[in-house]
A and B are shown apart, each in its own frame.
Chain A
Amino acid sequence: MASLRRGGSASAFFLGGDLPDPQSEAFLAALERQRFRTIEDAASEETSVGWVCADDPSGESFPRETIDLDAAIWLQVRIDKKKLPARWVAIYRAAAERAAGRRLTGKERKALKEDLADKLLPRVLPSVSIVDVLLDPAHRRVLLFSTSKATRDEFGTLFRRTFPGVELLPGDAFHWATRTRITAEQRRYLDEVAPVKWPTQRRTEHAPPAETARDAIEVDA
């Protein structure tokens, strides 16, 4: 059995609403509906995104002893992408142009690409990436072990498909602020708070007097 990583990069999300109880059949059924499905034999350019777990990267099973880590549920998102290899398309196109003694027209290039897709794609293996996810239902948060925008978007789409009644909010400065112990008054102010415009100082031997600093700290309207 693999163990969860000890380092890396993570993006946090917060949940608006409750996940189904991870011990329930409904939770496993939701995962299974959106489990990973292979595109190994696909004959077209495709992307497949779905849930798997560390012990079974095929997505066919989610053993509780693997996914339940007490403090969190450990899942993985598998993202497979099958694309026509650009280098092979260039090689076939060059050969076709040599044989024709001229450059291919746009229509001919399109036909060649479609022909190559039929011929090559069933033989091309998809690229595979697997990203760890920790679900913390008790604190309504998720850690996704990637900071790439594309991966966060793929994850967001999968999560919303899996748990349609649960809002997935980014763990940015605003949403994180709403999860801290600020007062109701501070929460209201949070909506309108603007950046402090710190004074730009010329090099001087002494710090400016307080009045100067106070005047300079104007909040942008």
Chain B
Amino acid sequence: MSGDGHAFLGEEFLTWLWFRLDTAGGDFDLGEGRSVAVAIDDFLAFAPRDDDETEQTLRKGLPTHSQEARAALRNGRRLRKAKLIVAEGPLQYGVTLDGTTMGLTGIKLPEDSEECESAADRSREHAANFLRLHDLIGQLYGLFLADRLRPDYLSTSGERQAQWMAS
């Protein structure tokens, strides 16, 4: 199995990220003394449970705190897309992650540093920041997979997440 058959993993990743933020805070230890802070911003889209259901989208305000979002979780829906704020040290990124495709949309890189004096400098910094954002999302995904691919996942973290979703 490969490719499209694993699209659910991206959606489970986003839902896990929300669970993790809600229950353990938004700081993630990436190892080697590095950490990243993550928050969910003002856009969420829930995947339909099957082809007959509609996709539910919540925008503006604090959608993670809304009744509609809680109801979707109680109904066992996974997040399909979420707008994230990702910060590593002084660098803050905005991005909407599509869990189904793992595509990154609406990327906002950190402000240019003071060292950027020319178009070439800006291009170098932007390229490095795009790749760094991709790395950070990949490292967060790696943390999720380390949990999700454990043999006892369903009876440990998976069960805690089920209770959180039902609460």
A198 to B157, CA, bound (A): 13
Which residues of B in the span 114-151 have a Cβ within 8 Å of any Cβ on A?
118-120, 122-124, 126-128, 130-131, 134, 138-139, 141-142, 145-146, 148-151
Question: Chain A contacts of B9 at CB under 8 A?
Answer: 173-174, 177, 193
Q: Size of chain B's interface in residues, with CB distance under 8 A?
A: 62
Q: A74 near B: Cβ within 8 Å?
A: yes
Cα distance, A65 to B118, chains bound together (Å): 13
B7 on the interface (CB 8 Å rule)? yes
Q: How far is the CA of A92 from the CA of B150 in the complex (A)?
A: 67
Q: Determine whether B25 belongs to the interface, using a CB cutoff of 8 Å to chain A.
A: no
The answer on a CB contact under 8 Å between A180 and B141 is: yes
- Further contacts, 19 of them, CB under 8 A, given A1-B120, A196-B158: A3-B123, A12-B102, A69-B127, A71-B131, A134-B131, A143-B130, A170-B3, A172-B3, A173-B8, A173-B9, A175-B3, A180-B138, A182-B149, A191-B1, A199-B162, A199-B166, A201-B74, A217-B158, A219-B154
A67 to chain B, nearest CB (A): 10
CB-based contact A182/B142 at 8 Å: yes
Q: State whether B105 touches A210 (Cβ < 8 A).
A: no
Complex CA gap A72/B124 in Å reads 8
A11–B151 Cα distance when bound, in Å, is 31
Check B5–A213 contact: CB distance below 8 A.
no
B3 touches A174 (CB 8 A): yes
User: Cα distance A181–B140 when bound, in Å?
Assistant: 11
- Report if A196-B12 is in contact (Cβ < 8 Å); known contacts: A69-B124, A172-B4: yes
